[in-house]
Amino acid sequence: MRGALLIGGTTSDAGKSMVVAGLCRLLAREGVAVAPFKAQNMSNNSVATLDGGEIGRAQAAQARAAGLEPSVRFNPVLLKPGSDRQSHVVVRGRESGVVGAADYASWRERLRGVVLDDLESLRAEFDVVLVEGAGSIAEVNLRGSDIANLGLASAAGLPVVVVSDIDRGGSLAHLFGTTAILDPADQRLVRGHLVNKFRGDPALLAPGLARLAELTGRPTLGTIPFEPRLWLDAEDSLASPVGARLGPPGPAPADALNVAAIRLPRVSNTTDVEALAAEPGVQVRWVADPASVADADFVVVPGTRATVDDLDWLRERGIADVLVRRAAARQPILAVCGGFQLLGTRIVDEVESGRGTVDGLGIFDQTVVFASEKTVRRSVGSAWGHRAAGYEIHHGTVAESTEHPWLSADDGTPEGAERETLWGTHWHGLLENDGLRRDLLGRVGAARGKPFTAGTVAFEEVRAQQLDVIADLLAAHVDRAALTAIVEGRDATPPVITHSLA
């Protein structure tokens, strides 16, 4: 099997990331040299690579599925939203400026060359390259500046398979309309459909798929069942709504530790709390109200891409006052990266918000100063006798602190802060270290009078099991022969949709 394929979507969060990860896993298990690629990603969930860059979380998971280390080659352009109108642009892992929605087109030609070069190099090195599109491929208003969907497919000669999430409703109309609205040349790139998250009897859907094939001239290559066991490595903040419970399906034990993860408006690296949810004695929910924060056994303040703005939001919501009262009462709090910065005495920010010196929550006695150059690196160290690894992606650094460090990096650098039941760190991914995570939860349980019984499965094993679940779903429900023909360019060119539905 040799070739490349772009997995596009009718919407954001349709399942593109999952399909690419599953196909990477499936092909890698069969001995195919496969690599993932996403030309342009918009996400605040990112991961540091070995070479000191950062890429979208989904591409790191897809690389893992393919048996590869995360690399900036897999996601050459990463847009990290700092507001509704501006994003920080990361090119080949390095921050390259701030761009507004209106002037992004001026970056187009430079970025187009970057993504095409990286895609070409991957295609020369691997048997198969699976390309993930961005959002919907039918955003025709953006077609002129597109480098992630049909603009990329056209320039690189990629066939396209479109995924739709039927659990949202309207899937057949989405699939028809997504192709029908395109120009004829772009329509010919669309070779087939995948229906994702189907619940019920496939026989009831069959007439609709037959009609869709009749109207579009394109086959549905598979109907992927809804699988409640899939919940790890969410890329999009759409997967972290307020009130959502993280973790495997099924009720939590009556004596479970109740964890409240604060859903900040510009939350980043939401995946940091997923390792907590993997423990059978822990229940994790995203919250945005003072009562939920006050009632929780354990509160996590996650990272944010707009530290000072989200500090304002905490105060407006009344959550800031609850956090201060929790800290005074020695009720457990963990703060990560931007969340850690929020808990300090002062924030000096002339970089991200440009607001200068701002008072933090004063829970930790520390001053955070934002540097123009971003820190992006993997880190290894220890805490409480446990080996621990993580990664850092931040502008703000602790310039002054009277707090006791929580961690010690292998280079001797102290990291984070620890005071009784308060913990803070700039290290993302820290909770994925089994020994440290379980020790932390044991301390939380002791503080709350709820004995914590640790799970027996390593978090990396949980993650690997999920990748295998996705691969098995695709193996069972996708027409492999038809998909292979599309990847290798052996399928027939489909027709342009010109007729009406009457």
In tens, the pLDDT along 423-471 reads 999 999 999 999 999 999 999 999 999 989 898 999 999 999 999 999 9
Distance, in Å, from the CA atom of 30 to the CA atom of 43, rounded to the nearest integer, reads 31
Q: Which residues of 51-62 are buried (b: 16+ CB within 10 A; e: fewer)?
A: eebbbbbbbbbb
Segments of 322-470 assigned E as strands? 333-336, 346-349, 356-359, 366-383, 386-401, 407-409, 414-415, 417-419, 422-425
In this predicted structure, the answer to whether residue 347 has a pLDDT above a threshold of 90 is: yes
The per-residue pLDDT for 247 is 81
The per-residue pLDDT for 270 is 85
* pTM exceeds 0.85, yes or no: yes
**Over residues 186-214, mean pLDDT:** 95
**Over residues 197-225, mean pLDDT:** 95
User: Does an H or E element contain 151, and which?
Assistant: helix 150-156
In this predicted structure, the answer to whether residue 238 has a pLDDT above a threshold of 60 is: no
In this predicted structure, the answer to whether residue 321 has a pLDDT above a threshold of 70 is: yes
Q: Does domain 3-219+479-487 have CATH number 3.40.640.10?
A: no
Task: Report residue 337 as tokens.
Answer: 């990266």
Q: Which of 76-85, 134-143, 333-342 has the lowest mean pLDDT?
A: 76-85
Asked whether this chain's domains 3-219+479-487 and 237-458 adopt the same fold, the reply is yes
Q: pLDDT class for 84, splitting at 50, 70, 90?
A: low
The per-residue pLDDT for 233 is 67
The per-residue pLDDT for 243 is 78
Distance, in Å, from the CA atom of 73 to the CA atom of 81, rounded to the nearest integer, reads 21
The per-residue pLDDT for 250 is 78
Share of the chain above pLDDT 70, in %: 96
The per-residue pLDDT for 201 is 92
The per-residue pLDDT for 97 is 80
Q: pLDDT class for 11, splitting at 50, 70, 90?
A: very high
Q: What is the pLDDT of residues 152-168, one digit of tens each?
A: 999 999 999 999 999 98
Q: Which amino acid is at 386?
A: H
- Do residues 219 and 193 touch, judged by C-beta distance below 8 A? yes
Q: pLDDT class for 501, splitting at 50, 70, 90?
A: low
In this predicted structure, the answer to whether residue 76 has a pLDDT above a threshold of 80 is: yes
Residue with the two structure tokens 């010919």? 188
Catalytic residues: 337, 428
> Measured between alpha carbons, how far apart are the two ends of the chain, in Å?
41
**Over residues 471-475, mean pLDDT:** 96
Share of the chain above pLDDT 90, in %: 79
User: Does an H or E element contain 215, and which?
Assistant: helix 202-216
DSSP 93-144: TEEEEEEETTTGGGGHHHHHHHHHHHHHHHHHHSSEEEEE--S-TT-GGGGG
The per-residue pLDDT for 500 is 57
Q: Which CATH number fits domain 237-458: 3.40.30.10, 1.20.140.150, 3.40.50.880, 1.10.10.10?
A: 3.40.50.880
In this predicted structure, the answer to whether residue 389 has a pLDDT above a threshold of 90 is: yes
What residue segments make up the domains of the chain, in order of their start?
A: 3-219+479-487, 237-458
**Over residues 87-110, mean pLDDT:** 80
In this predicted structure, the answer to whether residue 422 has a pLDDT above a threshold of 80 is: yes
In this predicted structure, the answer to whether residue 100 has a pLDDT above a threshold of 80 is: no
Task: Report residue 15 as tokens.
Answer: 């399942």
Measured CA to CA in angstroms, residue 479 lies from 172, 192, 486 at distances of 19, 11, 11
**Residue 296 region by backbone torsions, left for phi larger than 0, else alpha for psi between -120 and 50, else beta:** beta
